[in-house]
Homo-oligomer: A and B are copies of this chain.
Amino acid sequence: MPNNQFKKGELYSFITGKASTAIARRLQKNFKQAGLDITIEQWSVLYHLWKEDGLSQQQLCDATFRDKPSITRLVDNLEKLKLVKRVPSKDDRRSNLIFLTKEAEQLQEQTMELANQTLNEALAGVTNGQVEIAKEVLQMVYDNLK
């Protein structure tokens, strides 16, 4: 009976996502300890630019699951930090392409290493099989609501 998948008492923590909050906080803390002054939200934008530089703001919206105002301001702050640069697109004058600076390129290795470390701390004692299932469930939830 699908309505009983969750007992009420369990429902809440699933919704609020304490686990991902905890991972995010830990990663932020690990960045700070390493002397890196970027937020995980800024990092999440850089992450996609490391995969493909020169994305438009709209593409960053889709990639990071954020709305346009959020990306506008994240890019504003990343520009202040001199980690990215807005370049007007020649094909479409409405559109900005976002490019990494050299400074940002140099952050990739160190921050990815910290992110991997953080995940390993988080997943200590969890088997690969369990992780696979958890990822499948989270993906299905995301697809169901998208």
The interface size of chain A toward B, counting residues with CB under 8 Å, comes to 58
A132 nearest CB across to chain B (Å): 9
On chain B, the residues within 8 Å of A37 by CB distance are none
CB–CB B23/A115 < 8 A: no
Distance A138 CA – B23 CA, assembled complex (angstroms): 10
On chain B, the residues within 8 Å of A38 by CB distance are none
On chain B, the residues within 8 Å of A131 by CB distance are 5-6, 137
- Given the known interface contacts A16-B24, A16-B65, A65-B18, the answer about A3 and B120 at a Cβ–Cβ threshold of 8 Å is yes
- Given the known interface contacts A125-B140, A144-B121, the answer about A40 and B15 at a Cβ–Cβ threshold of 8 Å is yes
CB–CB B119/A11 < 8 A: yes
